[in-house]
């Protein structure tokens, strides 16, 4: 490995030419574009929407802000900006603000440079240390971000308050020659936002009126919720005007992108010898919960529904499968529709309910969303169970493919399914329904007994969502019955009361 220069003289002989952080990122981006290197690995679904704006902002040397609801990868995008920095950056050894060896800015480094000349010691900063971020909270102060005079330093080092050495630098000047991010910018108090104006416009700092002027070489990036980032929100207009590019993020636009994100981010490789098998249609049900929640009248859409909901939901499903495998000593596992009821805890904390939703309760709202998701995916794979009225143009009186199933329930039969059932108990309970296995094999083409059993429960639950079969969830048991008989029993029970 080639030894990096350790002094200013060695750095000059190496031919190193310093660039501003924005020029450095621009150059590296151009090189990545020329070699078709991925710009933001792991960021899914933004290729034609968000990434072009990010690309242009870097090429334009812009400070920018990402506007989007929670769970839209804003923080991940900001943190991935370090990949556009050089792997190593030379700075003056011991400098708190990463001074450029060729043009020191602080008084200490200027004096040291004059004294030592080409013998000025150099340290090399890895690019990961050149990114810093701060979560905007009401208690953030100007001293935290920019700096303040440190009376303890003045006393211990016997410095007068006119000496620059008494300054304690904040996090922004300590990120000089790097990238500084502020998450949830509108949450900063207005007086602190005012303190950012000079950094944005002049790229320098002044501390408590101290007679110094330190030019900063820094890329300022932000994130915010669109609802707050308005004149009616908590952002001051002059600061908003100084942010060069405004880039909107969004939730996955397709089920395919959503499935990719969940698969990528979920903890699915468990430390055991159990084989987990999750068919595509079940993954689609998981993702549809988020799509349905983002349309639900019971959920505050201004708050959003994070992709973390489906990630955590999938992890809970895997954990319930894992528990079942340990309980029954089974090594090859498939999920079940009834597993969704045990995984509700992953949903209830991710949804901000409006008044109507609070009246329903978070558990009931989550169950309704799961039901809507099952219904949506059921329609993709199975024919509609709603019979079309006969007409002169359509006189066919063909029997519904679901009729054998409905007839079986009409004779008083019912099916009870538990998430703790062994596979044999689960399969046997479902396979007793006349015509159920046939219809799943006809339309879902299940390839294994495990997938067939899941498909049978899926078909039953789909019929329930169309109000053709009754379903009751009592503790850990899902009970499917004939709709009419269940209604009559309910009326009879009320009469007895």
3, part of any domain? no
Question: What pLDDT, on a 0 to 100 scale, did the predictor assign at position 84?
Answer: 98
297, part of any domain? yes
Question: What pLDDT, on a 0 to 100 scale, did the predictor assign at position 13?
Answer: 94
Residues 182 and 74 in one domain: yes
Residues 356 and 476 in one domain: no
Residues 276 and 348 in one domain: yes
Domain of 329, CATH number, reads 1.10.8.80
260, part of any domain? yes
Residues 223 and 371 in one domain: no
Q: Which residues of the chain have pLDDT under 70?
A: 1-2, 149-155, 157-166, 202-212, 231-233, 387-398, 486-497
217, part of any domain? yes
pLDDT in tens, 333-390: 999 999 998 888 999 988 999 888 888 888 999 999 999 999 999 999 999 998 654 4
162, part of any domain? yes
CA–centroid distance for 251 within its chain? 9
Residues 109 and 17 in one domain: yes
Domain count, the chain: 3
Residues 231 and 261 in one domain: no
Question: What pLDDT, on a 0 to 100 scale, did the predictor assign at position 64?
Answer: 96
Residues 270 and 317 in one domain: yes
pLDDT in tens, 163-182: 666 677 889 989 999 999 99
Question: What pLDDT, on a 0 to 100 scale, did the predictor assign at position 396?
Answer: 53
Q: What average pLDDT does the structure give for the chain?
A: 89
Q: Which domain holds residue 304?
A: 255-381
Which pTM was predicted?
Answer: 0.87
Helix or strand (DSSP H, E) at 155: helix 151-156
Question: What pLDDT, on a 0 to 100 scale, did the predictor assign at position 114?
Answer: 94
């Amino acid at each position: 490995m080639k030894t990096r220069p350790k002094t200013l003289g060695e750095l000059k002989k190496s031919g190193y030419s310093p660039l501003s952080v924005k020029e450095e990122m621009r150059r590296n981006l151009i090189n990545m574009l020329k070699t078709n290197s991925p710009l933001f690995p792991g960021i899914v679904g933004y290729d034609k929407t968000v990434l072009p704006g990010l690309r242009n902002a870097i090429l334009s040397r812009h400070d920018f802000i990402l506007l989007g609801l929670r769970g839209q990868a804003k923080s991940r995008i900001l943190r991935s900006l370090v990949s556009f920095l050089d792997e190593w950056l030379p700075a003056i050894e011991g400098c708190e603000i990463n001074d450029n060896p060729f043009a020191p800015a602080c008084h200490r480094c200027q004096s040291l440079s004059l004294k030592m000349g080409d013998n000025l010691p150099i340290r090399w900063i890895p690019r990961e240390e050149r990114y810093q971020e701060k979560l905007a909270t009401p208690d953030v102060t100007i001293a935290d971000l920019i700096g303040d005079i440190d009376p303890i330093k003045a006393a211990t080092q016997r410095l007068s308050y006119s000496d620059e050495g008494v300054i304690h630098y904040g996090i922004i000047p300590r990120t000089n020659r790097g990238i500084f991010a502020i998450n949830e910018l509108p949450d900063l108090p207005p007086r602190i936002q005012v303190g950012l104006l000079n950094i944005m416009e002049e790229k320098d700092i002044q501390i408590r009126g101290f007679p110094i002027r330190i030019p900063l070489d820094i890329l300022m990036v932000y994130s915010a919720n669109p609802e707050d980032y308005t004149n009616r929100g908590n952002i001051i207009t002059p600061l908003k005007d100084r942010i060069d590019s405004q880039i909107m993020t969004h939730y996955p636009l397709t089920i395919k992108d959503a499935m990719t994100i969940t698969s990528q981010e979920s903890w699915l490789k468990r430390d055991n010898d159990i084989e987990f098998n999750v068919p595509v249609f079940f993954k689609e049900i998981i993702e549809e919960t988020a799509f349905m929640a983002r349309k639900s009248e019971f959920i505050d859409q201004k708050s959003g529904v994070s992709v973390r909901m489906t990630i955590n939901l999938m992890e809970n499903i895997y954990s319930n499968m894992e528990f079942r495998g340990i309980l029954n000593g089974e090594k090859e596992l498939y999920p079940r529709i009834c597993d969704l009821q045990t995984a509700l805890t992953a949903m209830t904390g991710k949804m901000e309910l409006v008044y109507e939703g609070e009246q329903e309760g978070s558990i009931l709202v989550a169950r309704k969303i799961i039901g809507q998701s099952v219904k949506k995916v059921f329609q993709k794979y199975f024919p509609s169970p709603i019979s079309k009225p006969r007409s002169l143009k359509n006189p066919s009186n063909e029997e519904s493919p679901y009729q054998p199933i409905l007839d079986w329930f009409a004779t008083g039969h019912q099916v009870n399914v538990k998430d703790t059932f062994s596979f044999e108990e689960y399969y046997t309970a479902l396979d007793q329904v006349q015509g159920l296995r046939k219809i799943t094999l006809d339309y879902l083409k299940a390839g294994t007994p495990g997938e067939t059993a899941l498909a049978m429960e899926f078909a039953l639950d789909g019929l329930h969502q169309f109000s053709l079969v009754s379903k009751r969830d009592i503790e850990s048991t899902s009970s499917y019955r004939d709709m009419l008989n269940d209604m009559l029993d309910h009326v009879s029970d009320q009469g007895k009361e």
